[in-house]
Structure 1
Amino acid sequence: MREWRGCLLALLTMTGLGTAAAAAPLKPCRIDGIPNELQCGSLQRPLDPARPDGAKIDVHYLVVPAMARNKQPDAVLMLAGGPGQSAISVAARMLPRLSRLGNRRDLVFIDQRGTGKSAPLDCPDDSRLPITEQLDGAAQLRRLDACRAALEKLPYGQEGGLRFFTTTIAMQDMDAVREALGVPQWNLIGGSYGTRAALEYLRQFPTKVRRTVIDGVAPPDMVLPASFSPDTQAALDKLLDAHAKTYPTLRADWQALLASLPRQVTVAQPLTGQPERFTVDRELLLRAVRPPLYQPALAAALPAAIQAAARDGRFDGLFGLTSAFSGGKDLRLAMGMHFSVVCAEDMPRLAESTDKPGADFQRVDADMYARVCKTWPRGDVPADFYKVPPAPSPVLVMSGGADPATPPRHGERIAKALAVGHAERVQHLVVPEAGHGVMGVGCVRDLMFRFIDAKTDTDALPQDASCATRIPRPVAFQPIQAPTNGAAQ
């Protein structure tokens, strides 16, 4: 593999990326987790599009050159999630899923403004803080308030600069990079918040998109803080029902655990191993239970963790699963960018939301976001941002049936809007037992390849997804019981 990468990079001036190099010179670079030398570049953009001569920011991007010399001109653009995730940081995780697409197409990862190296709006990492500090709502608010004050002192944060990190403006950056690279059309792949970004790019630049994949749909009209509660509640209820045979008293244990709060517990901090003693209240427990629900493999251990906490007062399992979901430095969110997006795009519509709070989760998230957004600079969002026009080109919509954040109800609504007048351009694939994001499930990466690589729109859809829809939910984890005295070894 290193040999062909080296040869390809040596031939860049003669093939493939010649146009891109002339418009925006790319330089050899290395990215953590990827052994081969790649190509990196940056493009200067106005912080405020209405003031092109005003403050500037640099938007950074990574290009993984296609393997073939006779590559296709339509590159693949990966739009990261969050909001607040760095696309370049997750490139190493994504490349195995996009490997077949990379045979004949450049793979492009752009750090959206506010993330990675593109005018980052990072807050301090709290993963090594005491557990109670990490999950305590009041402590989080204090840290976010301090972070906002620090960000407003940055050159691109002063004088209300945090208002210019909306999805609409960011997608204009993406199109400017497309022009700089000489790419006639993107094939968009968006996950989670990246689906909202993809839909907005498609709305603003419909002729510049050849194919679109949106996985775990977070549409512009979902009102994120309001939808969190019923969607997480539905995922938790589905989990409790799915493992009722293995854990017959699971639902009763969960309710008993809620009723026992607040209570003092001692837990080893998952990263440091240091024992901590703190009070678990209802909000802290709910924040601990949610993260494992995103990944069915982790969620399979929740029944045992809930039972241990309810019956024996042992909370190490619950908080260990919460920490396991964090996934590492590359998945951290730029929380300043996160709130710049949500406070501008979601919070103004909170009062209009028709989502009913979940029985257990209630308004935990809505209240927290409302308090943060009360003082966070809020950007302007065009009214058309919330409208999803009919798809101008084929769109593959994907949803996980066990997803606690972007379940199929959102994907179904958007698929219907995209299909108006052209039903043949849209397919909604639901993997019933998948969690948040289905790109990494079984054969889905091959399905995405067939969809994007198809020569005609007619051949692109529909795709046979039976290989993915039959995948079962992971069985519930059952702790190994130590043998009693006299038992056979």
Structure 2
Amino acid sequence: MPFPARRACALAAALALSAPLAHAAASLQPCRLAGVPTELQCGSLQRPLDPARPEGVKIDVHYVVVPALARNKQPDAVLMLAGGPGQSAISVASRVLPRLSRLNNRRDLVFIDQRGTGKSAPLDCADDSKLPLTEQLDEAARLRRLDACRATLEKLPYGQDGGLRFFTTTLAMQDMDAVRQALGVPQWNLIGASYGTRAALEYLRLFPAQVRRTVIDGVAPPDMALPASFSTDAQAALEALFQAHASTHPTLRADWQALLASLPRAVTVQQPLTGVPERFTVTRELLMSAVRMPLYQPALAAALPAALQAAARDGNFASLFGLTTAFGSSPALRLAMGMHFSVVCAEDLPRLPDAQDPPGADFRRSQAEMYTQVCKTWPRGAVAPEFYQVPPAPSPVLLLSGGADPATPPRHGERVAKALGAGHAERVQHIVVPEAGHGVMPVGCMRDLVFRFIDAKTDAAALPQDAACATRIPRPSAFQPITPATEGTAK
């Protein structure tokens, strides 16, 4: 969403009148971003690919600064840490800016493309979104594409000689602090979402004195073995969906079991983006991949009951695969899959054999098996044992969790809140919005709550925050397709 017109004018004036950032005036240049109607400031910082070899291969870390509107701005800028892993912070800036508009009045907003994403030594694989559905969701075909991508990335200047090992979260957070120093920012206010919460926790561990406040939304702790937790948490979200819509769809669970029992089966579905009819076989693994994505967003998940019943009763899979495509159709949300696997293979896979998360009854171990296969040949970086520990918070931390989140539900936020609050519980608050999905900040009044937390003049005034305005928001009602019968009732 673009800024309102008067805000756009004010931002343009602020760019012209405000003093340049300390130590960074020479490196910042006027620039524009798609979806943002005003001129911003862009810069880059050269960093060693391998910090142990400062004279070796260099990469450029790119960043964007949205200057504060007020002339008497606060010195502590807001740093947005993107999700994934693999999301470009700069690419999602236009989507995030409206949620941070109040903070931007007196604070600079900074978006840094983490190494491996966006323009910062990108580790991109080919875009799969317009491939035939059977190829998009077929794990064997995906493994072949990823192996080919790895081979291509290893030919890049920063991918040769095991270069893919140097894209871990720890090294990336060292880049973030180097940018802070270049910009002359005394302390960050960190805002991390999804994987960005892991990044924020690592930055907080490495540079505790350089953080004033921290917001982590959809907590993905460093000790979370992602491929194992995927199955456990997605299963819990699916079970909650069945229960929530039991009154409107009393046979949904039975329809689901019948659908599973009918597989594999041949179907014909139009590719949602191209409109081309495709005929392929729906396997159990393909079905579970299709179901998992809409669970991230309650508004999309509300259409799952009707989509699942259409597939089970009529063999119509169009709605189900349409929902799956809708979740990741925005180019801004695409992940740099090379960076994704460089992080997960180094940080999560070594913990997979000892993971305590039980596989979901329906989701089973397909995700874990896929990551295990990819990581067999993917170069792995070194991760210090301290990375997996969350020390007590040195400054106020606000944790946000969605009760309907299939990836980072409250159970992860609870243990991180306990670790952060050890000895100083008053520095930590964990807010659970029961019917929110993956990402709580966009819900209702949460953007104002985050503003109050960061803008509070003292740590004592920052917490606790009252979130009753969000915690009472109900789950979206199940979508009811329009049929001749329902159309007549509506009239």
Normalised by the length of structure 1, the TM-score is 0.98
SS at the partner of 1:61? strand
1:5 maps onto 2:21 in alignment = no
1:5 is matched by which residue type in structure 2?
L
The equivalent residue for 1:199 is 201
Letter in 2 for 1:19: A
Match of 2:480 in 1: 478
Correspondence 1:236-251 to 2 at 5 A: 236-251=238-253
Q: How does 1:118-157 map to 2 (within 5 A)?
A: 118-157=120-159
Output the CA distance in 1 between the equivalents of 2:488 and 2:141.
50
Q: Does 2:430 correspond to 1:424?
A: no
Label 1:283 to 1:210 Cα distance change in 2 as closer, same or farther (>3 A).
same
CA deviation map 1:21-78 (0-9, x unaligned):
34x5200000011000000000000000000011000000000000000000000000
Aligned residues: 485
Amino acid in the other structure paired with 1:403: D
For residues 394 and 162 of structure 1, what CA distance do their matches in structure 2 show?
34
Give distance in 2, aligned partners of 1:420 and 1:487: 57
Q: Secondary structure at the match of 1:438?
A: coil
Runs of 5+ unmatched residues, structure 2: 1-6
CA distance in 1: counterparts of 2:488 and 2:53, whole angstroms: 80
Structure-to-structure mapping, 1:166-177, within 5 angstroms: 166-177=168-179
Q: How does 1:15-30 map to 2 (within 5 A)?
A: 15=19, 17-22=20-25, 25-30=27-32
- Which 5+ residue runs of structure 1 have no aligned equivalent? none
Q: In the alignment, what sits opposite 1:385?
A: 387
Q: 1:260 aligns with which of 259, 262, 274?
A: 262
CA separation of 1:47/1:244 partners in 2, compared to 1, >3 Å: closer, same or farther? same
Q: 1:479 to 1:485 in 2, by over 3 A?
A: closer
Deviations 1:61-113 (A, max 9, x none): 00000000000000000000000000000000000100000000000000000
1:368/1:19 CA distance change after superposition, 3 Å? same
Q: Could you list the per-position Cα deviations for residues 115-165 of structure 1 after superposition, in whole angstroms to 9, with x for gaps in the alignment?
A: 000000000001000000000000000000000000000000000000000
* DSSP-derived class of the 2:484 partner: coil
1:207 to partner: Cα distance: 0.1
**What's the counterpart of residue 348 of structure 2?**
346
- What residue number does 1:43 align with? 45
Change (3 A) 1:357 1:70: same
Gap change, CA 1:481 and 1:159, over 3 Å in 2: same
2-structure distance, mates of 1:406, 1:46: 32
Partner of 2:4: none
Q: CA deviation at 1:5?
A: 2.5
Partner amino acid for 1:199?
L
Matching residue's letter, 1:10 = A
Instruction: Summarize the alignment of residues 431-450 of structure 1 with structure 2, pairs less than 5 Å apart.
Output: 431-450=433-452
Q: For 1:242-276, what per-residue CA distance to the aligned partner results, in whole angstroms no more than 9, with x for missing partners?
A: 00000000000001000000000000000000100
The Cα offsets for residues 455-486 of structure 1, whole Å up to 9 and x where unpaired, read as 00000000000001000000000111125999
What percentage of residue pairs aligned between the two structures are identical? 79
Please give the secondary structure, in 2, of the residue aligned with 1:6.
helix
Distance 2:487 2:222 in 1: 60
User: Which one of 57, 72, 75 corresponds to residue 74 of structure 2?
Assistant: 72
Counterpart in 1 of 2:317?
A: 315
Indicate whether 1:213 and 2:215 are aligned.
yes
How large is the Cα RMSD of the aligned pairs? 1.4
